[in-house]
């Protein structure tokens, strides 16, 4: 069984560009919609690129702003100025 890297975000306008960016950059992503929340699963590794979020949002986005829309996650986290990565790869 693959290890699942996952992120759960608010179901709201602030989170939507982040969700769209994840779906674009992780083509195998699976989405579970729940009332108020959306869970996105990817096998082994999930990435969020600042550039993609900015393109969806049409303005600047600091990866740390993820804290405003984040509900939960799974995977080893690595975050820098350009990318957030949740991964089980070593």
The residues binding another protein (CB under 8 A) are 1, 3-6, 8, 10, 32, 34-37, 39, 63-64, 67-81, 88, 90
CB of 55 to another protein, least distance (A): 21
CB of 51 to another protein, least distance (A): 16
Angle between helix 50-57 and helix 16-25 axes, rounded to 10 deg: 130
Place of tokens 């969806």: 56
The smaller minimum CB distance to another protein, of residues 23 and 73, is found at 73
CB of 48 to another protein, least distance (A): 13
The smaller minimum CB distance to another protein, of residues 58 and 90, is found at 90
Cβ atoms of residues 26 and 83 within 8 Å: no
Whole-number Å distance between alpha carbons of 4 and 14: 25
What is the CA 3 to chain-centroid distance, rounded?
16
């Amino acid at each position: 069984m693959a290890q699942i890297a996952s992120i759960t975000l608010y179901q709201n306008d602030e989170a939507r560009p982040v969700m769209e960016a994840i779906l674009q950059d992780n083509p195998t992503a699976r989405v579970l919609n729940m009332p108020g929340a959306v869970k996105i699963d990817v096998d082994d590794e999930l990435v969020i690129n600042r550039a993609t979020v900015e393109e969806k949002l049409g303005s600047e986005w600091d990866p740390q702003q993820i804290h405003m829309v984040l509900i939960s996650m799974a995977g080893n986290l690595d975050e820098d100025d350009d990318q957030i990565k949740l991964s089980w790869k070593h």
